């Protein structure tokens, strides 16, 4: 008998629901990924670099040209200066970046605060480092940070807080004022941050993303994580990065070099070329995804689902209390997939203690117009 190191971990909900969607032929609005291609110039660049022989290991820290593009994007987006050499590390996806950041600083017995509903990779990564997650719930209305609850959760063992903004699965944002409040709360404590900002460029209604990269005080203790997968519509490329002050980056790289060694070489070349040639791509993303959000929400308006348009990410939460209040959200997701042909993600799986009576499922709107129309037709007759 194997004594599992992760006894409470099963198969991730994303795999479960995508598999069920494939088996049943349902439209897959569950796992988050676009059903359209990334920019043609980016795709072409990969082929070019593969053909040109860029197929061996890249430098452990990431291709210098790509690290420079990341630093340039950060300067343009947030007015922050980071060193491409000592503060930026390219990783095979944001998941690996988060894992390495946690392993780099979390020791046996350390506590890590996560905000529920929280992305599912955080807790297993903390447990493998010997730490323990302390779950603090976001407010039920609006999914905002609750500073009273956060304060109560802090202990002498708290070694890290994991932020996620824009937030998966709720689409909520952390504001600059909230970052200030957080800075004040942890000022005299020995606490690191992981700031998971993979949806940094998917922020709507003219609001600016408040990045920890732009917060001088918090950045000093932070690992800020992003993913090219979300920004360039290529989730399957699993290429991401971590930005952290040099001393933290040095520790992160000690782990990264033995977990990953490096990212995928031709993809890094292609991303570096594309970012250099199309720096405006990220500036167009909010409008691009806001149009999808608004189309989808307009199409859903006549349905019996109720919702508030999300502030960020490519996920829309919908409340189904008017439809099947008798079903919990896991049962609802299965029923919607099997009986109504739309696969969704239940929100309760992201909670340690799901709020009683919450009736929410998450729908991914990173889809072509025709997919959103087909999905809405099905959702409007439930
Ligand atoms: N964090 C969050 C909040 C995510 O939604 C995702 C998307 N899968 C990731 C991390 C992981 O990103 P990647 O696919 O680059 O590993
Ligand atoms: N982040 C994606 C989501 O939330 C899924 C990524 C994965 O499958 N691990 O749907």
Kindly report, residue by residue over 34-44, the tens digit of the pLDDT. 999 999 999 99
208 with 328, same domain?
no
Give residue 344's pLDDT band: very low, low, confident or very high (50, 70, 90). Answer: very high
Report DSSP state, residue 92.
S
- With 90 as the cut, is the pLDDT of residue 96 above it? yes
Average the pLDDT over 293-313 and give the result: 98
| Residue 261 CA, ligand 2 centroid: distance in Å | 23
226 with 333, same domain?
no
d(CA 169, CA 188): 31
360 with 228, same domain?
no
> Is 6 part of any domain?
no
273 with 225, same domain?
yes
Average the pLDDT over 363-380 and give the result: 98
Residue after which a domain boundary falls, among 278, 304, 333:
278
Q: Which atom of ligand 2 has the smallest separation from the CA of 95? A: 9
Q: Which atom of ligand 1 has the smallest separation from the CA of 168? A: 3
d(CA 21, CA 331): 15
pLDDT of residue 372: 98
Q: Do the beta carbons of residue 105 and residue 253 sit within 8 Å?
A: no
| Residue 246 CA, ligand 2 centroid: distance in Å | 29
Kindly report, residue by residue over 252-298, the tens digit of the pLDDT. 999 999 999 999 999 999 999 999 999 999 999 999 999 999 999 99
Give residue 1's pLDDT band: very low, low, confident or very high (50, 70, 90). Answer: confident
66 with 182, same domain?
yes
Could you tell me whether strands 111-116 and 342-343 are parallel, antiparallel, or unpaired per DSSP bridges?
Answer: unpaired
193 with 266, same domain?
yes
d(CA 56, CA 366): 33
pLDDT of residue 18: 96
Q: Which atom of ligand 1 has the smallest separation from the CA of 167? A: 3
307 with 351, same domain?
yes
- With 90 as the cut, is the pLDDT of residue 374 above it? yes
For helices 329-340 and 13-24, the axis angle rounded to 10 degrees is: 20
119 lines ligand 1 (CB under 6 A): yes
pLDDT of residue 50: 98
Report DSSP state, residue 214.
G
Report DSSP state, residue 189.
S
Report DSSP state, residue 209.
P
Count of domains for the chain: 2
d(CA 101, CA 250): 11
| Residue 332 CA, ligand 2 centroid: distance in Å | 19
Q: Do the beta carbons of residue 158 and residue 113 sit within 8 Å?
A: yes
- Calculate the CA dihedral of residues 264, 200, 223, 149 and round it to 10 degrees: -140
Residue after which a domain boundary falls, among 278, 310, 339:
278
DSSP labels, 229-275: HHHTT-GGG--EEEE--HHHHHHHHHHHHHHTSS--HHHHHHHHHHH
Percent of the chain surpassing pLDDT 90: 99
202 with 318, same domain?
no
Kindly report, residue by residue over 5-24, the tens digit of the pLDDT. 999 999 999 999 999 999 99
261 with 368, same domain?
no
Element (H, E) at 99: helix 94-105
User: Smallest Cα–Cα separation from 241: which of 79, 9, 68, 112?
Assistant: 68
| Residue 319 CA, ligand 2 centroid: distance in Å | 21
pLDDT of residue 136: 98
DSSP labels, 124-144: HHHHHTT-EEEEEEPPTTTT-
| Residue 205 CA, ligand 2 centroid: distance in Å | 24
Ligand nearest to the CA of 166: 1
Pocket mutation for ligand 1, best pick of 102, 122, 168 (most atoms within 8 Å of C-beta): 168
* Cis peptide, bond prior to residue 136, ω within 30 of zero: no
Give residue 46's pLDDT band: very low, low, confident or very high (50, 70, 90). Answer: very high
Which residue segment(s) compose the domain that 171 sits in? 56-278
Kindly report, residue by residue over 230-255, the tens digit of the pLDDT. 999 999 999 999 999 999 999 999 99
Average the pLDDT over 326-340 and give the result: 97
Residue after which a domain boundary falls, among 227, 248, 278:
278
Element (H, E) at 224: strand 222-227
224 with 255, same domain?
yes
Percent of the chain surpassing pLDDT 70: 100
195 lines ligand 1 (CB under 6 A): no
- With 90 as the cut, is the pLDDT of residue 375 above it? yes
Summary mean pLDDT of the chain? 98
């Amino acid at each position: 008998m194997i004594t599992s190191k992760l006894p409470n971990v099963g198969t991730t909900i994303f795999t479960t629901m995508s598999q069920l969607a494939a088996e049943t032929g349902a439209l897959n609005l569950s796992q988050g990924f676009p059903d359209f291609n990334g920019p043609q110039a980016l795709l072409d660049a990969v082929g070019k670099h593969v053909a040109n022989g860029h197929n061996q290991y890249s430098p452990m820290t990431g291709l210098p040209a790509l690290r420079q593009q990341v630093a340039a994007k950060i300067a343009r987006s947030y007015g922050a200066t980071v060193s491409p050499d000592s503060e930026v590390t390219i990783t095979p996806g944001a998941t690996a970046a988060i894992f390495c950041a946690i392993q780099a600083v979390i020791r046996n017995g350390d506590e890590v605060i996560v905000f529920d509903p929280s992305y599912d990779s955080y807790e297993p990564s903390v447990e493998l480092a010997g730490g323990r997650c302390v779950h603090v719930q976001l407010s039920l209305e609006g999914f905002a940070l609750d500073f009273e609850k956060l304060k109560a959760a802090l202990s002498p063992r708290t070694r890290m807080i994991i932020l996620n903004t824009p937030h998966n699965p709720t689409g909520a944002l952390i504001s600059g004022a909230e970052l200030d409040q957080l800075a004040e709360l942890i000022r005299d404590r020995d606490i690191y941050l992981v700031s998971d900002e993979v949806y940094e460029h998917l922020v709507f209604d003219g609001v600016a993303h408040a990045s920890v990269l732009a917060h001088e005080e918090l950045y000093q203790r932070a690992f800020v994580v992003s993913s090219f997968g979300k920004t360039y519509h290529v989730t399957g490329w699993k290429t991401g990065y971590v930005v952290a002050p040099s001393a933290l980056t040095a520790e992160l790289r000690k782990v990264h070099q033995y977990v990953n060694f490096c990212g995928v070489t031709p993809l890094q070349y292609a991303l570096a070329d594309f970012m250099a040639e199309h720096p405006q791509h990220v500036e167009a993303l909010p409008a691009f995804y806001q149009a999808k959000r608004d189309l989808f929400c307009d199409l859903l308006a006549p349905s019996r689902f109720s919702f508030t348009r999300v502030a960020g990410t490519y996920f829309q939460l919908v409340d189904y209390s008017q439809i099947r209040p008798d079903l919990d959200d896991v049962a609802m997701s299965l029923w919607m997939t099997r009986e109504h042909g739309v696969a969704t993600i239940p929100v309760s799986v992201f909670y340690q203690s799901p709020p009683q009576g919450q009736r929410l499922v998450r729908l991914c709107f990173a889809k072509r117009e025709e997919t959103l129309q087909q999905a809405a037709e099905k959702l409007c007759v439930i």
